[in-house]
Structure 1
Amino acid sequence: MASKKNFSRNFHLMNLHNKLYIRTLINLIMQIYLGIMDIIEKYYLDPIRYGTGYNVVNTLTYAVILIIVAALLLKLIEKLKIKIDKKFIFALLPFMIFGGTTRALVDGEILPHTPLLITPGIYFTIAILTLCCIAIGLFLRRKYDFNRILLFSGSILAGVNIILVVINIETIKPLLITSGLVLIIMMPIYLFTLKFETFLNGNLYLIAAHVFDASTTFTGIYFYNYWEQHVLPSFLIGVTGAWIMFPIKIFIVILALYIAKDIEDENVKNFLKLIIFILGIGPGTRNLSRIIMGV
């Protein structure tokens, strides 16, 4: 009898211990879950909801996502045996304009504020649309020029957005200021490449893309009281002024081109140039579209 009672008591204690263990484990899981949700709310969702710009956490996250997606896209392009050259890069220009104008139209509430049309969802949306057009181009390339198909399909998408932007224009002064700044800054760089043969020759369009982006940032902040959303540029602009974006962007592009010149694989080298081009044209187009629409 004593043995049976001891067994029953031990079983009861073990039951209580297991219940306490399970309850503690559930509480721990809930605390971790709530902590993760708080981080997601604070660093990812709130900046989107309230338009407070980027922070260190979401900036690093989006950078990692960009690197991973870029690596996967390069593998896919190589598998599809697509030649990445200047023609291919410029064939994708309308898609960059489409992406930038889409973000501006969402900012202005002309297009709906949905996860697929805001950061980071917009990057996947543009990538999927571009890949669909690439697939069409590959299917038709026996009869038609592949890059022309890309250019044409991208131009349709960009054209619709450009019409929406034009309809909602409030002033063209930002366009004139930005164009003037790009011309003034690019002219001496262009003259330099005429006189000296360097790795910059043939790559001026990449510098111009980032000078364009810097010009839209400078125009928006200096003339129209806009503010920089990205973490590091915002800090530098706060310390020195919006003009700092010109030397920084030119330096970074030149440094990237200097490093890229020793890459033997032409597809990899030109893919890097494509990424550089996108990172200049995309944000610059968004900035300019927002400013001329008064968004």
Structure 2
Amino acid sequence: MLEEFFQRYFIDPIRYNTGYNVVNTLTYAIILGVATLFVYRVLNRLGIKYDNAFFRALIPYMVFGAFTRALTDAGVYPRTYLTVSPGIYFLVFVITFSALLVTHRLFEDWRRVFLWFGWGLVAVDLAALLARGDVDFNWAVLKYFLPALAVAELAVYALSKKLSLVRENSYLFYVHFYDATTTFVGVDFMNYWEQHVLPRFLMALTGTAAVMYPLKFTVLYVALWLMRELEREGEDKELLDFVRMVIFILGFAPGTRNLLRMLMGV
């Protein structure tokens, strides 16, 4: 019974690429929450502070994860449980966390070494793409993406003038509207489909992936409002900033993977 349950809700969706369901979505959300707290506590014990320099050093690893996932869709890398979602998140986490621990232990200027190791991983992905040589880029995607992105980001800018919570966390709204734009363009103009449960339901209900914008805004606004209230009540500000970084990753990585996938025509 348990084996059948696991097969139905966790293995088959990956094997047959049928998208997420309620069960695995909630499970992965819980795992993400636990992993976030675990990593934060480990970093604290090691004396690694989350700051702007640390955040910048993580960016190439975000690009690496998105690029690797897109290359899997393009057939450059084999499709396995570790090269598609959610396994790709585990793979990138293990690589990133291992690189962080090793560089922190061995190098005095570890942030610089950690940063350039991350860009080295991106370079490996780029080399794999160039070596393949048979990926046809679909630059026509940009004629839909760029205007839609401009409108979306202008909307965030306008909202930041009216709402203090948006203004204080504008980078999160910008990146999640970027992610929403890749979904909107992919589904409405490029014949892609949405894998996540709630967005898929809302798209079927409204007939357009533009519903991602109000959905993203609502979820993000509520989450950030709750975090602000917790901060006012004395909760650990550094932990909440670390959670904001995770929220950024959840917008930037999928959005970049979507854009790269569309550009590669897969």
What band does the TM-score fall into relative to the shorter chain? 0.7 to 0.9
Q: Answer yes or no: is 1:177 the counterpart of 2:152.
A: no
Distance change (3 Å), C-alpha of 1:107 and 1:192: closer
Q: Give matches, 1:44-193, under 5 Å.
A: 44-140=10-106, 142=108, 144=109, 146-162=110-126, 164=128, 168-191=135-158, 193=160
1:129-159 deviation per Cα after TM superposition (whole angstroms, max 9, x unaligned): 11122123313553x2x43333222112123
Query: Contact 1:165–1:293 (CA<8 Å) still a contact in 2?
Result: no
Q: Which residue of 2 aligns with 1:210?
A: 176
Contact 1:171-1:292 at 8 Å conserved across structures? yes
Task: Give CA deviations for 1:177-234 in whole Å, capped at 9, x if unaligned.
Answer: 32332222222432554x5682433522211111111001011111111110111110
Distance change in 2, residues 1:201/1:80 (3 Å): farther
Alignment of 1:21-60 (within 5 A): 35-60=1-26
Say which of 237, 259, 263 aligns to 1:288: 259
Question: Matches of residues 191-206 of structure 1 in structure 2 within 5 Å?
Answer: 191=158, 193=160, 195=161, 198-206=164-172
One-letter amino acid of the structure 1 residue matched with residue 38 of structure 2:
L
Shift in Å, 1:87: 2.9
The separation in 2 between residues aligned to 1:158 and 1:176, in whole angstroms, is 26
1:272 is the counterpart of 2:236: no
Percent identity between the two aligned chains: 39
Asked whether the equivalents of residues 165 and 225 of structure 2 are also in contact (C-alpha less than 8 Å), the reply is yes
1:178–1:212 CA contact under 8 A, matched in 2: no
Shift of 1:169: 4.2
1:36-78 CA distances to partner (integer Å, 9 max, x unpaired)?
A: 2222222222111111111112212211221221121111111
User: How many aligned positions are there?
Assistant: 258
Q: 1:133 to 1:228 in 2, by over 3 A?
A: same
Q: TM-score scaled by structure 1?
A: 0.80
Task: Give the partner amino acid of 2:228.
Answer: K
* Contact 2:76–2:129 (CA under 8 A) maintained in structure 1: no
Structure 1 segments, 4+ long, off by >4 Å, are 162-167
The separation in 2 between residues aligned to 1:148 and 1:196, in whole angstroms, is: 38
Contact 1:170 1:293 in 2 (8 A): yes
CA contact under 8 A between 2:137 and 2:263: conserved in structure 1? Answer: yes
> Is residue 187–residue 194 contact of structure 2 (8 Å, CA) maintained in 1?
yes
* 1:11 alignment counterpart: none
CA distance in 1, matches of 2:47, 2:213: 37
Q: Contact (CA 8 Å) 2:152, 2:178: kept in 1 or not?
A: no
Aligned partner of 1:252 in structure 2 is: 219
What is the Cα-based RMSD across aligned positions, in Å?
2.2
How far 1:165 moved relative to its partner?
A: 5.2
In structure 2, the residue matched to 1:3 is none
Partner residue in 1 for 2:210: 243
- Aligned residues of 2:156 and 2:174 also touching (Cα < 8 A): no
When structure 1 is superposed on structure 2, of 204-213 and 78-87 the one drifting more is: 78-87
Q: By how many angstroms is 1:84 displaced? A: 1.2
- 1:174 deviates by 2.1
Provide TM-score, normalisation by structure 2.
0.88
| Structure 2: 5+ residue stretches without partners | none
Secondary structure, counterpart of 2:181 in structure 1? helix
